[in-house]
A and B are shown apart, each in its own frame.
Chain A
């Protein structure tokens, strides 16, 4: 995550403008990063326009989109690259370590790239300085999310809150401390995450709860700790009811879904 490439799918809509503003803000916060704006071309439309306008069609489009992006982001021409690609966003070849800022793209089947849903936020800290929330469970997805989330937190200079909500262990009914109810696997993930954060010299705290609902617990914790971003990863074995999808449906806080 040293020089990540922030990607955005160009769309002349309020939602597209919102994503572009968020992507530009992220680019400004990450020195050495690049902003790539993708314009997904449709072969048939391309043919239709070329038949009518010749090469002036796609060249004119490129120039107009570049101008619009520069005007909307305030970034100089050299810091933004507009790419026209043939095919839909689902088929796009995004650079390795790219973060695609797009709310709708979180619904795609592409799990090879990190996707960030900004929702209604136009900047990472437009609600004030906050932390990054990294939820984890008993599986490997927490560690995977941490690789993306901790890298970004270090690059931006954010504190991290690790969050875990555990099922109640009925044998420990008298133990009120949620951490006592964690299973062995979750304890191991917690240890690894904390060791990783210590190694990267990132300030962190860990919150363990016994929330009634996992996705609700994550979002509520994000609201309480005033998180700027929730970093998660999809579990490779999860079938129905992915917590990532639930959090994406419920959260007003931007969510980063780490790629695989």
Chain B
């Protein structure tokens, strides 16, 4: 434990000197300030739109802090107890924040719906007689509060844009995916804040206070969407969902482009934090050092593909197997004389039979036998499926017809050319 505390201390000191952590802290501080201002002014004027936006900023602030902690914890070295390190810490945080954002969005849907229904008292009464609804607090957007509301919303949108651009730029420069993702998230917040500002201006200048509520619903939708994205992604990572069909197909394609790979027999993938883990089972006829080179080729291609996608690192487990061969047994009618041999034109001319075991068409075992008195019965007993002869096989096809043994035409009478040992 001491080792871990020391590690966190050391990492914190190092982190505070790094631009990526400084930007993350700045973003967290910005989100906290924005949340405090929006919640204060939103509650004061009873605006679900601004309060919703402010609550969303609380989630963002927590997310930034969690990302900082996650970057520290995820950086802990792998150990026997944690062979993949602690990279999933980030997903736990994302799951909680995602669930929180979904709950918040539901709250704002209800508040906005209540405000919208309140515009029609008869409908309001009818709905309230069926289900319980919270009390409606009308919007107070006076000439006194308007400049403050505009200043908070406009300033907030501008600040979000500025910070998100900095985060993305630093994230790209330092190859920090967490920072880059965080910048993208804040950029989407700027859009929400833009909608809020447009709503505030429209309400004031067009004298349309009811506009608050449809816009509130829209913001609730945007919050729910980012909440669902965070939740869903973290859920998939924690339950070790595959990294995706599209990625897996591409990995299979890439493996097939490596010389020596017959095919990808099995592929299992999952994600740990920002790391993709792949177990690839390859069928290859080669062995030893050749397979080590094939492994190197696959690693090169798959790693550069995954790093070019949404992953910051990847771990590949590649195993090699010889494919299970298709086995069969055939025979050759052979004629031998004075130490020379040739494939016989028919069984009458044969002096010997060679029984051959085939694996994927290659002869792997042979056994030569003098021609027995009843060669067909012998071939049937030996479970031979085909007999090679060098002549017009139709001449005596009928003779083997009842036995179901196919008569196969040898292209050459030379045993060596037909794959038999010379």
Contact string against B for A residues 24-35, beta-carbon threshold 8 Å, 1 for contact and 0 otherwise: 000000000000
- Contacts A52-B335, A64-B409, A119-B259 known; A223 to B340 CB distance under 8 Å? no
- Contacts A10-B412, A13-B419, A120-B262 known; A45 to B290 CB distance under 8 Å? no
* In the complex, residue of chain A having the shortest beta-carbon distance to the beta carbon of B289: A250
- In the bound assembly, the distance between CA atoms of A142 and B341 in angstroms comes to 44
Any A CB within 8 A of the CB of B214: no
8 Å CB interface, B331-368 against A: 335, 337-342, 345, 349, 360-363
Structural contact, A42 and B416, CB atoms closer than 8 A: yes
Structural contact, A12 and B417, CB atoms closer than 8 A: yes
Any A CB within 8 A of the CB of B260: yes
Structural contact, B289 and A45, CB atoms closer than 8 A: no
Q: Give the residues in chain B near A53, CB-CB below 8 Å.
A: 345, 391
Structural contact, A12 and B259, CB atoms closer than 8 A: no
Structural contact, A127 and B256, CB atoms closer than 8 A: yes
Any A CB within 8 A of the CB of B411: yes
8 Å CB interface, A39-63 against B: 39-42, 44-45, 47-49, 52-53, 57, 60-61
Task: Identify which of A12, A45, A67, A216 contacts B342 (C-beta below 8 A).
Answer: A45
Q: Give the residues in chain A near B296, CB-CB below 8 Å.
A: 220, 223-224
Q: Give the residues in chain B near A250, CB-CB below 8 Å.
A: 289-290, 293
Any B CB within 8 A of the CB of A252: yes
Most buried by B among A10, A12, A219: A12
Q: Give the residues in chain A near B285, CB-CB below 8 Å.
A: 120
Structural contact, A42 and B414, CB atoms closer than 8 A: yes
Q: Give the residues in chain A near B293, CB-CB below 8 Å.
A: 216, 219-220, 223, 250-252
Task: Identify which of B260, B409, B417, B418 contacts A120 (C-beta below 8 A).
Answer: B260
Counting residue pairs across A and B whose Cβ atoms lie within 8 Å, the total is 120
Structural contact, A48 and B259, CB atoms closer than 8 A: no
Q: Give the residues in chain B near A60, CB-CB below 8 Å.
A: 390-391
Structural contact, B258 and A65, CB atoms closer than 8 A: no
Structural contact, A252 and B413, CB atoms closer than 8 A: no
Structural contact, B260 and A12, CB atoms closer than 8 A: no
Structural contact, B289 and A68, CB atoms closer than 8 A: no
Structural contact, A252 and B286, CB atoms closer than 8 A: yes
- Contacts A42-B414, A220-B293, A220-B296 known; A127 to B349 CB distance under 8 Å? no
Q: Give the residues in chain A near B259, CB-CB below 8 Å.
A: 119-121, 127, 223, 252-254
Any B CB within 8 A of the CB of A226: yes
- Contacts A48-B340, A127-B256 known; A12 to B345 CB distance under 8 Å? no
Structural contact, B258 and A11, CB atoms closer than 8 A: no
Structural contact, A47 and B413, CB atoms closer than 8 A: no
Task: Identify which of A10, A13, A45 contacts B413 (C-beta below 8 A).
Answer: A45
Structural contact, B342 and A48, CB atoms closer than 8 A: yes
Interface size, B (range): 35 or more
- In the bound assembly, the distance between CA atoms of A207 and B279 in angstroms comes to 31
- Contacts A48-B337, A121-B259, A252-B290 known; A39 to B297 CB distance under 8 Å? no
CB distance from A10 to the nearest CB of B (A): 6
8 Å CB interface, A108-153 against B: 119-121, 127-128
Any B CB within 8 A of the CB of A194: no
* In the complex, residue of chain B having the shortest beta-carbon distance to the beta carbon of A220: B296
CB distance from B395 to the nearest CB of A (A): 13
Structural contact, B390 and A61, CB atoms closer than 8 A: yes
Any A CB within 8 A of the CB of B70: no
Contact string against B for A residues 238-256, beta-carbon threshold 8 Å, 1 for contact and 0 otherwise: 0000000000011111100
Any B CB within 8 A of the CB of A15: yes
Structural contact, A44 and B418, CB atoms closer than 8 A: no
CB distance from B61 to the nearest CB of A (A): 45
Contact string against B for A residues 1-26, beta-carbon threshold 8 Å, 1 for contact and 0 otherwise: 00000000011111110000000000
Any A CB within 8 A of the CB of B300: yes
Any A CB within 8 A of the CB of B125: no
Q: Give the residues in chain B near A41, CB-CB below 8 Å.
A: 414
- In the bound assembly, the distance between CA atoms of A41 and B363 in angstroms comes to 21
CB distance from A238 to the nearest CB of B (A): 20
CB distance from B260 to the nearest CB of A (A): 3
Structural contact, A13 and B414, CB atoms closer than 8 A: no
- Contacts A14-B361, A220-B296, A250-B290 known; A42 to B340 CB distance under 8 Å? yes
Task: Identify which of A39, A47, A49, A57 contacts B417 (C-beta below 8 A).
Answer: A39
Task: Identify which of A14, A39, A52, A224 contacts B345 (C-beta below 8 A).
Answer: A52
Structural contact, B300 and A223, CB atoms closer than 8 A: yes
Structural contact, B418 and A12, CB atoms closer than 8 A: yes
Q: Give the residues in chain A near B422, CB-CB below 8 Å.
A: 42
Please name the 9 residue pairs, one residue from A and one from B, whose CB atoms are nearest each other, closest first.
A252-B260, A44-B340, A223-B297, A13-B419, A252-B259, A45-B342, A64-B411, A14-B361, A127-B257
7 contacts between A and B (CB under 8 A): A10-B412, A44-B338, A49-B390, A61-B412, A120-B260, A127-B257, A127-B259
**Interface of B with A (CB < 8 Å)?**
256-260, 262, 284-286, 289-290, 293-294, 296-297, 300, 335, 337-342, 345, 349, 360-363, 390-391, 409-419, 422
**Interface of A with B (CB < 8 Å)?**
10-16, 39-42, 44-45, 47-49, 52-53, 57, 60-61, 64-65, 67-68, 119-121, 127-128, 216, 219-220, 223-224, 226, 249-254
New A-B contacts (4) at CB < 8 Å, excluding given A10-B411, A252-B297: A14-B362, A15-B362, A120-B286, A226-B257
